[in-house]
Chains A and B, each alone.
Chain A
Amino acid sequence: MVQKLVTHSETASQTAGPYVHIGLMPTHAGNSSTFETELGVSPILGGAKGSPIEISGQVLDATGNPMLDAVIESWQADAQGLFPGQQGADRNVKGFCRFAIDPQTERFTLKTIKPGPVALPEGGEQSPHIALWIVARGINIGLSTRVYFEDADVDQDPVLRRVQPRERLQTLKAKPLGGGAYNFDVRLQGPNETVFLDM
């Protein structure tokens, strides 16, 4: 016999289901009067430093159909690579945003500023990136991925260096369309499946 190891393992995830919007984005579900202030409407306030960018794309299932019910959350650093709450971070960068799929265009859009490279405590840095967390009906545990930028230097990024096979790297790079616009599609399964992270 040994001492009983007292641990509290993490509570199990369950799907967010088809009606997730009423809880997280009530205006999107037609319930704009639910809360006075909806959370995560924009990751930046007026005056945020850095280059304005607009990332848009589709979330596609294994059959290539765009998923219209997904909710995406993003989390990012400011233009200097500091996260909200860190000393010296830009107070006009909240870092967090929630967005859904526009039923007409079948796309999501994230308007923000381009984050800076993030210094790592052990030395080195992560290339500019935005973390995404995707939930929807049929997704049993939220899917994590990152948006990197095709027009930035990403060769030294410690996460991207671990991606195998190397062809899959392109699934994590937003493609510049000019004028600060980028395209980033998320493919849940099948050819060109997005690299999802467990970090």
Chain B
Amino acid sequence: MSGGRLIPRDRDAHPVAHDLNYKTSVTRSPSMPLLSLESTPTEESGPRFGHSDLGPLDHDLIRNWTGGKENAVGERILVHGRVLDEQGRGLPGSLVEVWQANAGGRYRHKMDGYLAPLDPHFGGAGRCLTDESGQYAFMTIKPGAYPWPNRGNDWRPAHIHFSLFGASFGQRLITQMYFEGDPLIDRCPIAHTIKDRSQIDRLVAPLDMSRSRPLDHLAYRFDIVLRGRRQSYFENRPEGL
């Protein structure tokens, strides 16, 4: 444990808990106020994971379901970016987990009954650790949009679910990455549980031709910011000085 208290969460930067347009949230959102307190060692510590926890293909969703024998169907993409904290520092060695639908918009989950078929070569989950500067990268296929039972005709924009650990349990975050140019983002009641438009925009990954590989794959960049730690110049030396 190093550093000070976690910076309090700006709840306005996050979705509202209760949103009539996302119907399931209505019965799954607390109605009483949250109890806001300064973080304690419980929130300031957290699980750490190492390379020995991961397999060699865990970061490659195109090939990991078949153990590298086959390639999944779909538009091949590299998804990469940096995990930072609110001070702009990269978070090294932190776990990033992703899951997604296949190119037809179907999840490999026993509860998904959408009529698009499963791809026998695609599982839809991956994970990796950030490097010393907080960078991560996955190879995957671009997921398809899919319909879901909510309002009369709601469709999810193409998205990849991200789970982030950072370095402490109080930084824990799950979010979704969307793709530049997708017209379904503006119609999506889940994206619009976030009421600050600029916060939605920050979930939309731009095409990044600098990391695309000719005749192989496109690339999208998605940076993620987790909560930071407050520093007191009067109590202890700031990290890195």
A-to-B contact residues, CB < 8 Å: 6-24, 26, 29-31, 33-37, 39-40, 61-63, 65, 67, 69, 73, 75, 77, 83-86, 94-96, 118-121, 126, 129, 131, 133, 135-143, 146, 158-159, 162-163, 168, 188-190, 193-199
**Interface residues on chain B, size class:** 35 or more
Q: What are the interface flags for B11-26 relative to A under an 8 Å C-beta threshold, 1 for contact and 0 otherwise?
A: 1011111010010111
Contact between chains at B170 and A95 (CB < 8 Å)? no
Q: Which one, B69-77, B195-203, B211-219, is touching chain A?
A: B195-203
Expressed in whole angstroms, the minimum distance between the Cβ of B198 and any Cβ of chain A is: 9
Residues facing A in B63-102 (CB within 8 A) are: 64-65, 84-88, 95, 97-99, 101
Q: What are the interface flags for B21-36 relative to A under an 8 Å C-beta threshold, 1 for contact and 0 otherwise?
A: 0101111111110111
What are 26 A-B interface contacts by the 8 Å CB criterion? Answer: A8-B84, A8-B86, A13-B173, A15-B190, A16-B163, A18-B111, A22-B99, A22-B125, A29-B108, A31-B108, A33-B65, A37-B54, A39-B127, A83-B42, A94-B47, A95-B47, A133-B169, A140-B25, A140-B29, A159-B40, A189-B27, A193-B30, A198-B9, A198-B35, A199-B6, A199-B39
Q: Quick check: is B194 within 8 A (CB to CB) of the other chain?
A: yes
Expressed in whole angstroms, the minimum distance between the Cβ of A106 and any Cβ of chain B is: 15
Expressed in whole angstroms, the minimum distance between the Cβ of A68 and any Cβ of chain B is: 9
Contact between chains at A118 and B203 (CB < 8 Å)? no
Expressed in whole angstroms, the minimum distance between the Cβ of A196 and any Cβ of chain B is: 5
B-to-A contact residues, CB < 8 Å: 1, 6, 8-11, 13-17, 19, 22, 24-32, 34-43, 45-49, 53-55, 58, 64-65, 84-88, 95, 97-99, 101, 107-112, 123-125, 127, 161, 163, 169-170, 172-176, 190-191, 193-194, 196, 199-200, 202-203, 224-228
Instruction: Write the chain A residue with the least CB distance to B34.
Output: A198
Contact between chains at B190 and A85 (CB < 8 Å)? no
User: Measured between alpha carbons, how far is A199 from B48 in the docked complex, in Å?
Assistant: 20
Contact between chains at A189 and B190 (CB < 8 Å)? no
Contact between chains at B86 and A10 (CB < 8 Å)? yes
User: Measured between alpha carbons, how far is A141 from B172 in the docked complex, in Å?
Assistant: 10
Contact between chains at B176 and A139 (CB < 8 Å)? no
Expressed in whole angstroms, the minimum distance between the Cβ of A74 and any Cβ of chain B is: 9
Contact between chains at A12 and B15 (CB < 8 Å)? yes
Knowing A34-B123, A163-B35, say if A23 contacts B163 (CB, 8 Å). Answer: yes
